[in-house]
Structure 1
Amino acid sequence: MESAKGVLSHLSTLEQLATCRQVQPRQRSREEELRARVEALTAQRDRLKAEIHTHKDIEKCKERLFNQCTEEEEEETESNGSESEQLLQLLARQMHLKECLYAHHIIGGYDINKTRSGDGICVTLTTAYNGTYLDTYNLELKVKPTLKIIRHNVPPFIPLSELTEQAATRDDLRGFLDELSTYLNAFVGRRQQLSLVKELHPWAAVMESNMLCSFLVLMLSFPGEKTTVLCTLNYMDHTSLLPTRVDFDCEDEEIPESPLWKNNVKLLMEMPVHRALDNMKTMSHIG
């Protein structure tokens, strides 16, 4: 019996040792996890402190810049300052410009000035496509007693008179400028797309187009074949960059009705024409 008890006691001791050995790695693993977490939080704290310090320095630098009275004083400060001081000044200017651009956006993004006579305003509308600034249009307006256009350089096919009458009825100058800007940006955007087609896709012959760029006919061909397809794009919505209707004409009447060319219609109606042609060529639909 004593021998049996001794064996059981020995087995119990071995079991306790095995349990301790299993618990210790888990404890070490937990400690390492907590230590890594502490290090990550410490690094995050130090980074936030550095950002706060930099932001305070930039704000102080902005105040100094805005309080300077003459350009000579500003140039002297820049020439005598350290590299870090000059960097802070540049960051301060960048922040100031961003604030000005945001304010400009809030008021509609239009440059408005009073005329010399003081009874009207001059408005500048800048157009752009895909981040590239294009044409600038100007209007001289009388706002009171009703909205009236004195002179402008807006293209004649833009319904300016109709937009002016609607705005005068609503007494809504901002709405008038927004609508006119939409027409102008859509027009220059369609014109830019046509330009990109001619530049990037010389194999897609432009057969016909109009001044408003609301009608476009292209001749497309199959890769390695003599078969050609006439592609007609109609932009009946003059405030849009995308066509409202796409038609294909071919001697083989089955081609325009095929699933492949129906997919091409979808491409041309959902993305700018030069990008749609890129996709069609990549998929070897045309060449």
Structure 2
Amino acid sequence: MFFEQEEARGQTVRGDSEARGQGVLAPLERLETQMNRSQKRLKERAEEKDLKARIHKLRLVRDQLRAEVKRRESTVQASGAGVEPGPPLAVSTQETLERKEETVKALLQAYRFTGLSAKMTSRGVCVCISTTFEGNLLESYFVDIEIQKPLRIHHHSVPPFIPLEQLSAKYLQTDIQHFLFRLHEYLNAYSGRKYQADRLQSDFAAFLVGPPQRNALCNLLTFTYKVEPKSPSSPFCARLVYKDLAESLPTAVTVTAQGKRRPGDGAACALGPSWEEQQAAHEDLFRTKPLHHVFAAFSKEGEKMYAILAS
């Protein structure tokens, strides 16, 4: 009997505890339900706001298209006044698109003649810049431009010493055509300077006393040379500076005589101009003509001199 009474008392206590627990959890469950409903309402409102914004944009596009259609219809009507009925509007639009396509093709062809060509990419457009000097095709470089706002250069092969960042900051966002033309000028001038230095070293090594010295940009070139390779006369030292990086000819030239002329240098010295006259003439040649042209002229003058001495 005693045990039965204790068991009944324990069941009563457990029942009271569960009732109290349910009484505490019930408000929490109600709060959670209210919170879920509030979040659902906020989500629905955000979606509704987004849909309204999309509808507004689509309406703007629709209005623009309607205005464009009306404008084209009025243009066709004005051009066709007093003339026999022409083809439908769709055909006229197709002809307009074809004319635009032909114009673009002609423009791209013209760009190719200037050393620029382009092709569309997934990001935007990739422009190939081909460099030449005196009709010789030299290096090619590319610039991959992302078509976005603002325009951005995604990747390129332009040498680091070319002022690409300055040109981009100055022209890319306002005049991309001018940006490409200016970049082409810099690259073409660099390739031209490099081409001349390479030709000097490969084709006229007999005139040089030691290899020429140049920096990576090829805007500073120094070399020691003789006008007549077989002559015992003292050589000249030339220093060419290209301050304008968009040009392939030097802006400052200094030619100095290495050593002094000896009295017994021979009849060739007596027949030739003085050292000062030669220096001035050489500086003028280096400033106005490509390097390989200057040394080709030296070679011809040497042949003439040998012919005079032999006669």
TM-score (norm 1): 0.58
Task: Give 2:278's aligned residue.
Answer: 260
Q: Which runs of 5+ in 1 are unaligned?
A: 1-99
Secondary structure of the equivalent of 2:144? strand
Counterparts of 1:239 and 1:221 in 2: how far apart (Å)? 29
Task: Give 1:237's aligned residue.
Answer: 244
Task: Give 2:170's aligned residue.
Answer: 166
Checking the alignment, whether the CA contact within 8 Å between 1:248 and 1:256 is kept in structure 2 is: no
Q: Which runs of 5+ in 2 are unaligned?
A: 1-104, 262-272, 307-311
The equivalent position to 1:145 in structure 2, one of 146, 149, 156, is: 149
Task: Give 1:72's aligned residue.
Answer: none
List per-residue Cα deviations over 1:238-278 (Å, max 9, x = no partner). 11110111112224579996122201111111110111122
Checking the alignment, whether the CA contact within 8 Å between 2:115 and 2:131 is kept in structure 1 is: no
Aligned residues with identical type, % of pairs = 24
The equivalent position to 2:121 in structure 1, one of 115, 134, 143, is: 115
Counterparts of 1:220 and 1:139 in 2: how far apart (Å)? 39
| Larger radius of gyration between Structure 1 and Structure 2 | 2
Aligned 1:271-286 pairs, distance under 5 A: 271-284=289-302
Checking the alignment, whether the CA contact within 8 Å between 2:234 and 2:260 is kept in structure 1 is: no
Instruction: After superposing the two structures, state which structure 1 stretch, 272-281 or 142-151, moved more.
Output: 142-151
1:105 to 1:276, Cα distance in 2 relative to 1, 3 A: same
Task: Indicate whether 1:176 and 2:172 are aligned.
Answer: no
The equivalent position to 1:201 in structure 2, one of 199, 204, 207, is: 204
Counterparts of 1:196 and 1:101 in 2: how far apart (Å)? 36
1:281 Cα deviation after fit? 3.3
Checking the alignment, whether the CA contact within 8 Å between 2:111 and 2:117 is kept in structure 1 is: no
List per-residue Cα deviations over 1:93-148 (Å, max 9, x = no partner). xxxxxxx78861168653222222xx421111111122121111111112432232
Aligned length in residues: 185
Checking the alignment, whether the CA contact within 8 Å between 2:131 and 2:184 is kept in structure 1 is: yes
The equivalent position to 2:223 in structure 1, one of 205, 218, 222, is: 218
Task: Indicate whether 1:192 and 2:192 are aligned.
Answer: no
List per-residue Cα deviations over 1:205-234 (Å, max 9, x = no partner). 433111111111111125322412211111
1:277 to 1:240, Cα distance in 2 relative to 1, 3 A: same
> What RMSD over aligned residues (CA atoms) do the two structures have, in Å?
2.8
Secondary structure of the equivalent of 2:205? coil
TM-score (norm 2): 0.54
Checking the alignment, whether the CA contact within 8 Å between 1:229 and 1:249 is kept in structure 2 is: yes
1:257 to 1:144, Cα distance in 2 relative to 1, 3 A: farther
1:159 Cα deviation after fit? 0.1
1:109 to 1:192, Cα distance in 2 relative to 1, 3 A: closer
Task: Give 1:22's aligned residue.
Answer: none
